């Protein structure tokens, strides 16, 4: 009867000591961020840097023209897509020739559209 009692005592003491022992925590795994490819419409365009006049010569007359402060938005439409070109003055000046700094393309439904395909559709209307 003495042996089972000793086993229980040893087992209990082992558990108590284990509970009191400092815990070794493994450092959290830090994963490297996965590079996210830029969507097609966020890449620099062949239209970036053009003036409003050059853009109209390239794509034709805009369907919509909106002025806001010193900036200008020109919208071009085809049956396949809509292209918004945002033009701003040079960085250090409120005056000067407005240039295309950003292009946004989408389908008529509002879903994202391939920028190169949209520009091609506007350059070659059919």
- How many whole angstroms separate alpha carbon 39 and alpha carbon 86? 18
Domain limits, the chain: 42-123
- Is residue 39 predicted with pLDDT exceeding 60? no
pLDDT, tens only, 73-112: 999 999 999 999 999 998 876 678 999 999 999 999 999 9
98, burial (CB in 10 Å: exposed 0-12, middle 13-18, buried 19+) = buried
CB atoms within 10 A of CB 26: 5
Q: What is the pLDDT of residues 48-64, one digit of tens each?
A: 999 999 999 999 999 99
Tokens read off for 100: 């295309």
User: Residue 87: enclosing H or E segment and its boundaries?
Assistant: strand 82-88
- Residue 54: φ, ψ to 5°: -65, -35
- Residue 98's nearest CA partner among 89, 106, 111, 85 is 89
């Amino acid at each position: 009867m003495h042996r089972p009692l000793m086993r229980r005592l040893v087992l209990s003491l082992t558990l108590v000591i284990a509970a009191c022992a400092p815990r070794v925590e493994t450092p959290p795994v830090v994963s490297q961020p996965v590079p996210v490819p830029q969507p097609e419409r966020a890449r620099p365009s062949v239209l970036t840097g053009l003036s409003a006049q050059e853009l109209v010569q390239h794509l034709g007359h805009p369907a919509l023209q909106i002025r806001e402060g010193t900036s200008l938005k020109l919208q071009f439409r085809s049956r396949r897509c809509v292209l918004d070109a945002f033009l701003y003055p040079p960085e250090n000046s409120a005056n000067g020739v407005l240039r295309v700094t950003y292009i946004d393309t989408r389908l008529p439904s509002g879903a994202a559209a391939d920028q190169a395909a949209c520009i091609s559709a506007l350059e070659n209307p059919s």
